Structure 1
Amino acid sequence: MVNLLAYMLKQFAFFTLFAITLVSTSCITNKDVVYLQDKGTVISDSLQIQALAKPYRVQINDILSIDVKALDKELVEIFNPTTNDIGNTQQALYFTGFTVDLHGNIEFPILGEINVLGFTVEEIEDKVKHELLQQYFKETAQIFVTVKLAGLKYTTVGEVVSKGVQVIYQDRVNIIEAIANAGDIQQTGDRTDVLIVRQYPGGQKIHHIDLTDIAAMKSEFYYIQPNDIIMVKPLKRKSLGAGETATQTLTTIASLFSVVISTYFLVKNL
């Protein structure tokens, strides 16, 4: 009996030490989930963020919404597709917008093919307006051209609440806004190393950004671009099967310890 009691005390001491160690290393803390913390990477107390995002340049398979206005509305009707029947949505723009083909061109009414690959939307506005004045209108028509991307489309995968293709109808979206639009990163997601897969003319590149560091706001990847893929990896703690909080972790350990003790007595009584 004395030997059994000594054994139990020894096991309990081991269990207590193990529990304290596991709780201190496996629980998800505020440092893991709080965005834009001051980690000493910013010198001044107040951080003034300058827009580091480069102007987006149109790529193959982008869909453009082009609107032409003039003093005489009837003159520009042919250039403006009607969306009254299907609404001004991403699906509607798929059918009525101007898709950039594999050669970087769009097929514009009257004007024919216009190369837009690598141009900003502002440059495309100037280009379309110039061609219209050259081929169709006179200066007195006072035409006005607006070019926009048909929504900022991106994809979220991994430890986010809503996985899949997302669309935001804004010209500029930062990565935190994009993630919030997808329901935010789950508790088990690694915010310190979020991956951004971005398309370039020569192929795709993977970039890394630490969203728990306020210095992320100065990164050139803080603002997302159309067709970006945002990948959030799971924390290593998740693969261990530990709980998200200390209570959950202790509950798991206690359950395991209870199973071990029950098995010990069961075997001992056989």
Structure 2
Amino acid sequence: MFALFSSSCVSNKKLVYFPDPAFNTEKLTPIANQPVNYLLQPRDILSVRIKTLDTESSEYFNIQPENGFMNLNQASVFLSSYSIDDNGSITLPEVGPIKVAGLTVQQAQQKIQEAIGVYLNKATILVKLVSFKVTVLGEVNTPGQFYIYNDQLTVLEGLGMAGDLTDFGNRENITLVRQTETGLGAILIDLKNPQLLASEYYYLQPNDVLYVQPLKAKTTRGNLNTLNVLSVVFGAVSTAILILTFVN
């Protein structure tokens, strides 16, 4: 029983991130890592806002919710945005389809700017990716799906949004599932390896899924809890039998 109890405890070494002696308290350790620009894919959702001196003309191109105003929730953002179709295009009124898949958000904005410029003079175009979400599952404190209102997100930030790993989260075995142009792909991430900070997988992309696997200690602890319950039940039954034997 003692051996089982000991194996259910989590060593402090298993809870530490990036245990690298190269890191110190005297100066920053430089890490070379350039974020990779995300390329738009079909089913991504873009917010396209067009502004001109002629408000009536610009409003013709801007999608508005049916109730006439914008609520600050994700559903209303989607309803007032453009979804990239399976052909990789969004369709603007009068302009027609504009192919944006395979472009960065900045490149898509420039392309839309050129297309709108044919119809509107001195128009200002602002394009944002509003379907940037990540899902974090497994041994974290608050698993769920999180929408990102920023241009980039790191693995550490994503795990932080999910309340960090529990003590039983395996920091050496985190599965990253990513949608690519050729289909789904998966890779294991090790938070104890400082090389992650320089890896291309340090930055999350839209629709990424992180799954934190549990340590074996959690299973052992579950077995220990079961044994404790059985011990209590067995003790109660034994006591009852002794009482009945004494009475008789």
**1:112-134, Cα deviation, whole Å (9 max, x unpaired):** 1111111100100110011122x
Q: Which amino acid aligns with 1:158?
A: G
Q: Quote the sequence identity (%).
A: 32
Unaligned 5+ segments in structure 1 are: 1-17, 244-248
CA distance in 1, matches of 2:187, 2:199: 11
> What SS does the aligned partner of 1:193 have?
strand
Task: Report the count of equivalent residues.
Answer: 239
**Based on CA coordinates, which of the two structures has the bigger radius of gyration?**
1
Q: For 2:125, what is the secondary structure of its paired residue?
A: strand
Residue 239 in 1 paired to residue 230 in 2?
no
CA 131–261 in structure 1, closer or farther in 2 if over 3 Å, else same: closer
Please give the alpha-carbon distance, in whole angstroms, between the structure 2 residues aligned to 1:103 and 1:143: 26
Task: Tell me how far apart the structure 2 counterparts of residues 71 and 255 of structure 1 sit (CA, whole Å).
Answer: 74
User: Which aligned segments of 4 or more residues in structure 1 are displaced greater than 6 angstroms?
Assistant: 251-267
Cα deviation 1:206-253 (Å, max 9, x = unaligned): 01111233332111111110000111111111122269xxxxx8x999
Structure 2 unaligned segments of length 5 or more: list them. none
Greater fraction strand: 2
Q: In structure 1, give the amino acid aligned to 2:87.
A: H
Shift of 1:151: 4.5
Distance in 2 (alpha carbons) for counterparts of 1:98 and 1:48: 40
CA distance in 2, matches of 1:169, 1:22: 46
Q: Are residue 111 (structure 1) and residue 91 (structure 2) matched? A: no
2:109 alignment partner in structure 1:
125
Q: 2:182 aligns with which of 185, 189, 202?
A: 202
Specify which of 115, 119, 144 is matched with residue 136 of structure 1. Answer: 119
Measure, in 1, the Cα distance between the counterparts of 2:129 and 2:233.
Answer: 59
- 2:29 — aligned with what? 47
1:217-232 mapped onto 2 (5 Å cutoff):
217-232=197-212
Taking only aligned residues, the RMSD between alpha carbons, in angstroms, comes to 3.2
Instruction: Work out whether residues 5 and 221 of structure 2, in 8 Å CA contact, stay in contact via their aligned partners in 1.
Output: no
Distance 1:68 1:255, change over 3 A: closer
Confirm whether residue 72 of structure 1 aligns to residue 54 of structure 2. yes
Is it true that 1:99 corresponds to 2:78 in the alignment? no
Give the AA of the match of 1:233: Q
Deviations 1:81-114 (A, max 9, x none): 2355341432112211100111111111221111
The answer (yes or no) to whether the contact 1:53–1:221 under 8 Å persists in 2 is: no
Distance 1:255 1:88 in 2: 49
Matched, 1:56 2:38: yes
TM-score, normalised by the number of residues in structure 2: 0.82
1:265 to 1:56, Cα distance in 2 relative to 1, 3 A: same
Given candidates 147, 155, 161, the residue that maps to 2:127 is 147
Give the TM-score normalised by the residue count of structure 1. 0.76
In proportion to residue count, which structure has more helix? 1
